[in-house]
Structure 1
Amino acid sequence: MHTNYFLKIMRKRVFHIWLTMLLSLASCTQHHSPNVLLMQADSLMEAYPDSALRILENVEPQQLKTPANQAYYALLLTQARDKNYIVQTDDSLIRIAVQYYDSIGEVAMQAKAHYYKGCIYRDANLCGEAVQEYLTAIPLAKKTENQKLLGLIYNHAGYLYYLQNLVEQADSIYQLAEKLAIQRNDTSLWAEALSFQGKINIRKGTTYHSTAEKELLKAFEMTSTSSHKRVQADIAASLSSLYSRMEQKEKAIQYAKLNISLREDTTQCYTAFLLLGDAYFKIGKYDSATIYINKSLLTTRYGTKASAYMRLAEIAQIQGDLEKSLTLTDKYTLYLDSLHAAQQSNDILNAEKKVAKQQYTNTLSYDKHKQLILITASTILILIIIIGCIILNKHRQKAHDLEQSQSHLKQEQQELQERYLQVRNELKKKDTVIAALQQEIDQQQADEEKRQQLRQELDTLQKERDALAQVVFEHSKVSTKIERIINSYKAYDKSDEQLSEEDWKCLIAETDMRWNRVITRLNAEYKLSKTEVHLCCLFLTDLPIANLPYIIQIARNSIYRKEKEIRKKIDCPPEISKLKDFLENY
């Protein structure tokens, strides 16, 4: 045992002597071979990032003459600072690396550069930009099979999604991280992935608490060694929060205390103090709860401060100090405002916060001014009855108007349906007459004058038939539904309706009826895909291209691309500018 300890001490001393010599050598040789220093720093980066940072700080940037060395230095210095937990918010240095490696297409370095650019945006609290860089780095890391880097990217991207409450996306990314960790036998990454999946399941609610417990306990067991104390402390915090929600109060306190004990600096474990204070609050130990919650107030995090003041306000209310409770509630609201501002929360969250504050204040005011409320209760009751009667009459009038409107609408729909059936029957009769006339023309072999006369009659009938077919299409249920969907998107930028498979079949049938079975004939000859068939039907309507995405759920530029593919597939001549013109005469 003493021998092993002695060997460890000797190894550390030898390493520090070697490092001192290396830095001395660096100061003498950096003018001549800066690239050697960069390579030395790179070789130390994983095992000794602090030593790598010291070497890089001894490099004079003006001595880096080539773009390759400048980019290499920019990437290594950003990486070393990140590994030494130095907060970086200026992206000017890493941009040099990103631009250079993107320009030469060196994939392995591109992946690293984009990842560390994402880390800078993460430190600057620019979540959107950070995720963009992480997503850029993922395929690059996959291409070079750099699974360690890929694991780091998944972990950081998942964390940002989790922070923004995008739990479904975060869960998907952490599942990928878990699979990668199992493949690599990476205990740290696996534990992180399980830990965050547990946190996500806590957020999902009571139904998922048992799943969250299994995931967190498994992660806790995996991180039992001293090298994983930070991760285990975070897991203990999550378990404390979970058990607090599950009303297992003793376990909540146990893991809250463990969370604190696993921290290296126990004087600044503000979230841990809040968790322990909350656990004491749940079991009614308000003095202990107050002590630990007050410790958490030294944090700079708005979310922790808001939660702490909320609990302190509740304790003051329980203890009967309503004035103090109101003061603490005001502080809770202040930090909640700051938190929402930092998170760029929307008006809905602000409204919810104001309502919550108002309701809470009203409850406290009721206790304080109970006598005044009793005096004015009868007056308020009378006003409520009067207002209720007015509102009830208005609702009745609205219900009556709505009933009449629905009656008129139903009558109009019935009339339209009758008109649709009437016109459709006329169309069938026209088709029968046209077929008979066509047969008569075919039988007139000798009498050319008679054939010409019959052709004229046929053209007239065909025009009448086309007009009827157009009326049938316009009055069809599917055409009416299309119009409703478009109007809904224009008014509200969304629609509760979509064309079902049955609707598309009706649209194809109506199009075939209107345009002489054009869809059936095209599909038989060219084997169109379902999307291509649907687009051909829509092209034959009078709808502008701008409205088609509402119906077929395809982006406008994709519709133009699909149109070109269809033109090529069905041999549409280039001199015909519109595909609709070709389809109408097919």
Structure 2
Amino acid sequence: MRYLSYIVFCLFSFAMCTEQPKELLPELSYAESLMQRCPNSALVVLDSMEVPSPSDKFQYATWCLLITQARDKNYIKHTSDSLINIALAYFEKQDDPVWKASTLYYEGRVNQDMNNVEEATDFYLRARDVAKNTTDYRLLCLINTHLGTLYAYRNLPDLAFEAYKNAHTYSMQLKDSTFISNTYSALGRVSMLNNNLQEGLDNYKKAIEIAEQSGNLKSLTLAYGEISTVYQALSMLDSSMYYLKKSKKIEEKYNASALSQTYLGIGETYYYMGLSDSAYYYLEKALNTINPYTKQDAIHALYYLCRDLGKYEDAIKYNEQYWVYKDSIDNINRSSEIAKIQAKYEREKLLNINNGLENRILWGSIILLLIIFVLIFFYQRELLKKERIIKESRKQLQIRLNQLHENESIIHENENLIGVLSIQMEEYVGSQEHINNQMDEMERIRQNNATLQTQNEILQGDIKKYISSLKEKGEELKTYECLTTENTYLFERQRYLCSQLIKHINILDCLKSDPKYIEESQWPEIFESINIVYPNLIERLRKDFFLTDSDLLMCCLIKLQLNNSIIAELAAISPSSVTKRKQRLKERINQHLKTPLGVETSIDTYLWKY
């Protein structure tokens, strides 16, 4: 036993010294997996686990966030922001937008429960901005829904509508019938704020239709209860009663805890219908609840009913009860704190009882845990090794795909340069020296293409090797294929559009079709036209190389791919003088380049690419 303990201790020390990936504790990971479908179970797990040490900032911040989330989903009112502040202090500095947005959202929920409306609104807005960079549509829907509710209660219907509309859009992307139905109900609510009762009816009917199709009874009763208020506002009390009774039927069977609110609505509707006995019956039934808000509203309605019936003694009694419950609601936060302390005491008492039982099975559990730990250690080591190999393969694959894409682009561009140089050589009449220079440049470009083709063959071989090791055609290769096709199409489209644009700008078209000496007064028009075809070309040349207007004109003529003979006619100089002016222009540009153009690179090809 001592020997086994020594081995395990050594393995544990080795594991602690080895850099491990940042992973959640098993309890935290399990609680997170339960959060959406079983939030009550998630809360039990988080409450019963040993709280992570504050020195482990990631685990501790995650526990603070998850327990706040679990309490929120279990409708436990937040009374302190200490835990969520710890989570925010950590996740706000991290690069994960989902964790950051979630923390900001629950900061909003906590502050909303604490009646810090302005702070809650600010946190929701920050959470919304961060979450926009994610595809977590559930979180985006929740943020916008609560933001809309804050705006609605502050009588800002336009802002509320925008937030609810965003929530509805995200619910449609999420394709969750519960969220879709609830956001239609929210839109109905804001329509009521705008006194657009017909639009409110339409939205509630959509909410009801979706909830009925999906069988979501909670969303259905929400929509039934709220559409009844629209019919009350329209004085269509029979329709209001129809939906209240449908809600009552569902709640009596599946959700008895929500019946009191429905009884309250039925009682109020009977009151408006002038059916005092029925109103009294249901308002009395509404009192059978522990919800102080529902009880207060029911007592208030009974006060008015008794007053209208002339039962003044009963009216006085209900009025006194109303103020008692109002005081109770004002002190509800203090009562919640007392209940929270009591619950904590009971939990600690139960833990002390359990500790006695745990001591009896401690040694057997230790042996079992040691065996499990050894197995997990070796499994994790093999898993990490496999992950590193896959990660490195993907990295190398991406590097080669990027290089292959870059080479293909250069080859395509060089082929176009060769074509332009060939056309100019066929049209050119001038010195043999210039022709020889152009032939040398074409040969250099061809050799460059040959070198790139050789590199591409090697890269393609490497890519096949990495794809084979990954046993699948990765997303990286699909992306490369799309980029290559798209890049070629865009490059050709750009060349075509530029040539068509030049043909439709008279002054540029005439430079080639009917070359005549360019007056200095025409230069500004040429510069302006060139900027239309090649946006900001003149400004970039001035800024990068500090060229004169005469040099800029020469750059424009070169950019239009005019040969030396045509440029000579336009400038009223000889072809040999054009060659000399190009050489001087190249020298001026070289003064401002980190890597000057070599002898083998002409100013023409440089400016064509510029």
TM-score, normalisation: structure 2? 0.46
Higher radius of gyration, 1 or 2:
2
| Highest RCO, 1 vs 2 (Cα 8 Å, sep ≥ 6) | 2
